[in-house]
Copies of this chain bind each other. A is one copy, B any other.
């Protein structure tokens, strides 16, 4: 499972990988804030935007964000208040709540996501080199 014992280079690769991850997350946080969003907002909007119909159930969203449902509810509350998402009760099962990204939400992440893609493209050679050295 763990494979051969790790040598110095392995530790370096693991540490550098983590460092680059921290840098990417930091980049993402700053980019979100510069766009008037919180980092969490961006992650919700991105997840919804990537969903087939731009909407997800609260529970499914929680699973994708690795959050508890009630934490997701609070996050959605804030986003709804900002007009970035909308809640729609499912007609067939009124327990279910669809969280849909709004037009404003789409507009908000368009350039933000583009910046993230650009950053990942920049990081790509380094990440591939690091992954390849493990």
Interfacial residues, chain A to chain B (CB-CB below 8 A): 1-3, 5-6, 8, 10-12, 14-19, 21-26, 43, 46-47, 49-50, 64-66, 110-111, 113-118, 120-121, 124, 127-128, 131, 134
Please tell me which one of the listed residues B113, B131, B134 contacts residue A10 in the complex, with CB atoms under 8 A apart. Answer: B113
Copy total for this chain: 2
Inter-subunit contact B15/A46 (CB<8 Å)? yes
> For residue A26, which residues in chain B have a CB less than 8 angstroms away from its CB?
66
Q: Is B50 within 8 A of A16, CB to CB?
A: yes
Set B3, B5, B11, B47: member contacting A15, Cβ < 8 A: B47
**Can you name 24 A-B pairs with beta carbons within 8 Å?**
A2-B117, A2-B118, A3-B117, A10-B113, A11-B46, A11-B50, A11-B113, A12-B50, A14-B120, A15-B46, A15-B49, A15-B50, A15-B64, A16-B50, A17-B120, A18-B43, A18-B46, A19-B47, A19-B64, A21-B21, A21-B25, A22-B65, A22-B66, A128-B128
Task: Check B124–A134 contact: CB distance below 8 A.
Answer: yes
Q: Which B residues touch A11, using CB under 8 A?
A: 46, 49-50, 113
